[in-house]
Amino acid sequence: MRHAAPAADDRFSDRPLDLLFVGAPTERRRRFFAQSGLVLSRFTCCLHLPEGGLQRAGVPTALNPAAAIGLAQRSKILLHVHESDVPTFPWQHIVHLGIWQRALVVTEPCAPVPGLRAGEHYLACRLSELPDLLTWLLSTGPGAAQAEAIRRRAFAALVREYDLTAWLRSLLPAVLNAVAP
């Protein structure tokens, strides 16, 4: 992917990759992608499912974080499929690789977290419904409009609800107390 990183205020339609998925190839994910291959083949996707963990024989097999973020910044949709049947909220995927990079997050239902809600800041549906939802978002005008609205709302909520400066300011006195002689 040689396209330059898009501007911060880029449009949904300007992003060259339709969909990005990054995650270990568990059995559950293998089944999902096997069943969704035909639908996803209609779009420009990047599926990264490194086998054998992060390293094999000392050689990295997973994307390094900078590459993953670069791909996310060029993607319309960051897709998340749970590793197992446990519906966690994988912060590093949904927030760090998705909302923070201004991609629309589409996922299976996740555990709730403060300030970010399904339907408002990301889209969630059952695994069996994901292919239809992705098709609607990527190939219809109303779908693209909803995607645009949600990803912008999500980024604004993230900046508002998770203000790093305020968090650090609240932590700093405790840190200074701990290191003081």
Partner 1 sequence: MSWREDGPPANAGGSAITVYETGDVRRGDVGVVVPLYDHERFIVATLDSVLAQDPAELQLVIVDDGGPGPACATALEWLERHGSGFAGARLLQHRRNLGGAAARNTAVNCTASEFVFMLDSDNILLPSCVSRCLAALRDSDAAFAYPMLEIFGEEVGVMNLGLWEPERLAHGNYIDTLALIRRQAWLSVGGATSMSVPGWNDYELWCKFVEHGYWGVQVPQILARYRVHRGSNLRAITNRPENLSRLIAEMKRLHPWLKLSAPEAAATNAE
Does residue 56 interact with partner 1 by CB under 8 A? yes
Q: How far is CA 31 from CA 47, 84, 111, in A?
A: 14, 12, 22
Give the one residue of 3, 11, 14, 61 binding partner 1; rule: CB under 8 A: 61
Q: Give the x/- contact pattern for partner 1 in 15-34, rule: CB under 8 A.
A: ----------x----xx-xx
Does residue 57 interact with partner 1 by CB under 8 A? yes
Given the DSSP bridges, would you call strands 17-22 and 75-80 parallel, antiparallel or unpaired? parallel
Task: Name the helix (H) or strand (E) containing 159.
Answer: helix 141-161
Stretch that binds partner 1, among 39-47, 96-104, 125-133, 154-162 (CB under 8 A): 39-47
How many Å apart are CA 45 and CA 176, to the nearest integer?
47
For 119, the token pair is: 């339907």
Task: Give how many residues touch partner 1 by CB under 8 A.
Answer: 25
Is there a contact between 72 and 101 (Cβ–Cβ < 8 Å)?
yes
Give the one residue of 37, 65, 112, 115 binding partner 1; rule: CB under 8 A: 37
Nearer Cβ to partner 1 (7/34): 34
